[in-house]
Amino acid sequence: MDVIPLIAAIIFSLLGLYICFDYYRFNNNAIKTQGKIIGYEEYLSKDSNNNKRKMYRPIFEYSVDGNVFEIRSKTSFRHKIIPQGHPAVVLYNKNDEANARLAKGNGAGLGVLFIGLSIPAYYFGLFG
């Protein structure tokens, strides 16, 4: 039994489960509405090799009952996923409108990826 891959497997699987759970919890009660991309926050991100890459964080707005909400997305992308000024589908929960998400890019795929990465790590941790 090798402890390092086993610890990595546990961390990856817990992180993947949390992401999937958060996706399900949020989307289970989410209300869809139309919003609009009003801009992008650009920043440089460094990878493990110290290579820099430009990333884009969408800023969008939408309204509920006459109240306009301007949201800076918590999710970043390598490209501007929706052109500025164009409509976008927004998901929000009633009484928590300030924590809205764009429907595009809001998926459980990252959680599934982490769970998938944990499988070989479990194997190497237990049998390697």
Q: What single letter denotes the amino acid at residue 108?
A: A
Number of folded domains that form the chain: 1
Domain of residue 42, residue span: 3-127
| 3-state SS assignment for residue 70 | strand
* Three-class secondary structure of residue 25 per DSSP: helix
- Model pLDDT for residues 73-119, shown as the tens digit of each residue: 988 999 999 999 999 999 999 999 999 999 987 788 889 999 999 99
What is the residue-averaged pLDDT of the chain?
A: 93
Tell me what pLDDT residue 103 has.
92
1 has a pLDDT exceeding 90: no
Cβ proximity of 16 and 107 under 8 Å: no
